[in-house]
């Protein structure tokens, strides 16, 4: 798919299709008014006849409009002008792209970014339009024997900006959007693969391929023998019941001098989670292939970062593992010794992600990090708390949490901060070990965060629980590619601040 930006008048466009907006009630945008004027009122006459009201998402495709150079005009209903917000804008773009893809218009010039969206500038409107387009056009059919493709798919789209002064802004928006979308595609492709293909070794191979592709990326793999030497007893216990060896992939991106402390991203990579001895119910268990969504998100973010060539240092950790029931599997009642030396009483083997992450979070101390963000499909309780709209955020450092929330608002990949008060820590008390691996049903997401916080005393840390946002169930089942936009935006902001400092 090819994207570009330009600044030009609608009546001079010679394209397969021009896309313009119509507000309620039957009110033409300024661009649509230009086309109406040169067509001697052709468009306004259609609206008066009731062909289009202008409600959000309505579409009307016109062919061979008098005196218009382009073959088609797509009129897009945009709702009430003063109520056009970011959510509705993205929905309108998505509906537009789906309509174009069905009409056989292989190229289009889209004037929708010229509309006013509350609180958003040209950069945001162009970037979100590109990201929404890529999201609409994403398919995962690699494993189907017969692949259905549109007869004449959309191949090129030009987004028009109001003035020539904004061309450079629009071009930067396209560059950022393409990198983020590429990262999301990597995330989605890996997450959507079945667990008989995507296992910890496969994740490791993807990390190695990333290093082969980019000169400023290097990767090494930590396998079970080295984990044993490092004392990662908690991580190793989770994977003990699986035939597939646990593999932790360490991806290092160097965008500036080696002395600059890196930002570390740690992704939970449970390539399949049966729950272990605390076996999950069968219904929906197939979706536990998405329990590596954190690692997929980190891998996708590292791809986006390498594409953008940001002047920062970042380490990405893919904590690959598989939780299976077996004669060697760890059990409820076991007491594990973590890499930090702290001991954990296992009360439920289905609370395994935190047992993998705690050792990974201890491992990253060696990088003397600027900050650490772990990403995990950690708790069903987070889905109950925030649904599928927002990622749960917890942190031991207010400025870091503020920066992540800010990035989430900028990117549209929302996060919501949950408390991490000491009051919750007592729920993890164990009579036999330093702590238990669960704290009961109450505040399940928060106690999981509290557990991880005990291993992050030496650096600024944030935890993202993406259990509700990493994938969709039902009709539109599949990985969402989140939180690649949020994490990449955070890194863009950090790189920008670092340069200005």
**Weakest mean pLDDT among 4-18, 319-333, 448-462:** 4-18
Q: In angstroms, what CA-CA distances link 494 with 78, 101, 168, 425?
A: 35, 37, 21, 31
What value, to the nearest 5°, has the Cα angle with vertex 38 and ends 32 and 44? Answer: 50
Overall residue count recorded for the chain in this entry: 501
What are the tens digits of pLDDT across the range 219-261? 999 999 999 999 999 999 999 999 999 999 999 999 999 999 9
Average the pLDDT over 125-144 and give the result. Answer: 95
Query: What pLDDT, in 10s, does the model give residues 255-277?
Result: 999 999 999 999 999 999 999 99
* Cβ–Cβ < 8 Å for 179, 488: yes
Helices 167-192 and 484-500: crossing angle in degrees, nearest 10, is: 140
The closest alpha carbon to 135, from 75, 180, 170, belongs to 180
What phi, psi does 267 have (nearest 5°)? Answer: -110, 125
**What is the percentage of the chain residues whose pLDDT exceeds 90?**
89
Please answer whether residues 250 and 317 qualify as being in contact, where contact means their C-beta atoms are separated by less than 8 angstroms. Answer: yes
> Would you state the pLDDT for residue 150?
65
Is the model's pLDDT at 280 over the cut of 60?
yes
* Confidence check: pLDDT of 154 > 90: no
Can you give 73-101 as a three-state secondary structure string?
Answer: EEEEECCCHHHCCHHHHHHHHHHHHHHHH
CB atoms within 10 A of CB 95: 18
- Give every CB contact of residue 90 below 8 A, 6+ residues apart in sequence: 128, 132, 412
Closest CA to 24 of 81, 95, 75, 73: 81
Helices 484-500 and 293-308, packing angle to 10 deg: 40
* Closest to 132 measured CA to CA, from 146, 113, 151: 113
Q: Which residues are catalytic?
A: 280, 354
Q: pLDDT by residue (tens digit) across 381-410?
A: 999 999 999 999 999 999 999 999 999 999
Sign of CA dihedral 114, 116, 122, 125: negative
Integer CA distances (angstroms), 484 to 203, 262, 324, in order: 17, 18, 28
Backbone angles phi, psi at 40, to 5 degrees: 60, 45
CA-to-CA dists, residue 237 to 124, 326, 339, 385, angstroms: 45, 12, 12, 30
Residues 6+ apart with CB under 8 A from 97: 132, 133, 136, 137, 154, 157
Question: Is residue 444's pLDDT more than 80?
Answer: yes
- Strands 343-345 and 335-337: what pairing? antiparallel
How many Å apart are CA 200 and CA 202, to the nearest integer? 5
Question: What is the pLDDT averaged over residues 172-192?
Answer: 98
Q: Which residue has the higher pLDDT, 111 or 105?
A: 111
Does the pLDDT value for residue 357 go beyond 60? yes
As a whole number of Å, the CA-based R_g of the chain is 25
Q: Which residues pair with 320 in a beta bridge?
A: 247, 269
Output 281-284 pairs: Cβ under 8 A, ≥24 positions apart.
284/473
pLDDT for 12: 80
Q: What is the average pLDDT value for the chain, to the nearest integer?
A: 95
For the residues 449-478, what does the mean pLDDT come to? 97
pTM of the model: 0.96
Q: Kindly provide the residue ranges of all beta strands, DSSP E only, lying in 143-262, ordered along the sequence.
A: 156-160, 217-223, 247-254
């Amino acid at each position: 798919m090819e994207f570009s930006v330009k600044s030009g008048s609608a009546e001079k466009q010679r394209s397969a299709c021009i896309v313009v907006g119509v507000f309620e009630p039957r009110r033409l945008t300024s661009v649509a008014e230009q086309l109406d004027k040169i067509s001697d009122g052709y468009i306004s006459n259609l609206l008066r006849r009731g062909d289009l009201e202008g409600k959000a998402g309505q579409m009307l495709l016109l062919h061979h409009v008098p005196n218009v150079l382009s073959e088609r005009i797509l009129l897009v209903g945009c709702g009430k002008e003063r109520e056009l917000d970011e959510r509705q804008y993205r929905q309108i773009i998505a509906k537009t792209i789906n309509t174009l893809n069905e009409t056989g218009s292989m190229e289009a010039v889209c004037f929708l970014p010229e509309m006013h969206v509350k609180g958003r500038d040209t950069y945001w409107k162009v970037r979100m339009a590109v990201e929404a387009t890529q999201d609409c056009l994403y398919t995962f059919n690699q494993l189907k024997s017969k692949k259905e493709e549109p007869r004449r798919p959309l191949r090129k789209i030009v987004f028009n900006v109001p003035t020539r002064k904004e061309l450079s802004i629009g071009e930067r928006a396209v560059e950022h959007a393409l990198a983020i979308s590429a990262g999301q595609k990597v995330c989605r492709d890996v997450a959507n693969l079945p667990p008989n293909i995507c296992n910890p070794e496969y994740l490791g191979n993807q990390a190695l391929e990333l290093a082969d592709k980019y000169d400023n990326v290097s990767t090494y793999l930590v396998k079970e023998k080295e984990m044993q030497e490092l004392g990662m007893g908690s991580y190793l216990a989770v994977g003990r019941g699986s035939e597939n060896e646990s593999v932790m992939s360490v991806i290092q991106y160097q965008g500036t001098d080696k002395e600059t402390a890196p930002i570390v991203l740690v992704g939970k990579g449970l390539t399949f989670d049966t729950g272990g001895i605390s076996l999950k119910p069968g219904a929906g268990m197939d979706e536990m292939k998405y329990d590596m969504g954190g690692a997929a998100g980190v891998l996708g973010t590292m791809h986006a970062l390498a594409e953008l060539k940001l002047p920062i240092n970042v380490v990405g950790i893919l904590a690959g593992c598989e939780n299976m029931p077996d004669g060697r599997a760890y059990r409820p009642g076991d007491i594990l010794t973590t890499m930090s030396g702290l001991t954990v009483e296992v009360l439920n083997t289905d609370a395994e992600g935190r047992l993998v992450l705690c050792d990974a979070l201890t491992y990253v101390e060696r990088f003397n990090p600027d900050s650490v963000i772990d990403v995990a499909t950690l708790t069903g309780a987070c889905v109950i708390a925030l649904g599928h709209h927002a990622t749960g955020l917890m942190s031991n450092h207010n400025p870091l949490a503020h920066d992540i929330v800010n990035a989430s608002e900028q990117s549209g990949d929302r996060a919501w901060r949950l408390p991490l008060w000491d009051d919750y820590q007592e729920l993890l008390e164990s009579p036999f070990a330093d702590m238990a691996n669960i704290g009961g049903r109450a505040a399940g997401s928060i106690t999981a965060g509290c557990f991880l916080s005990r291993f992050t005393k030496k650096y600024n840390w944030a935890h993202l629980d993406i259990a509700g946002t990493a994938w969709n169930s039902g009709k539109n089942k599949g990985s969402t590619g989140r939180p690649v936009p949020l994490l990449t935006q955070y890194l863009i902001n950090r790189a920008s601040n670092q340069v200005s400092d």
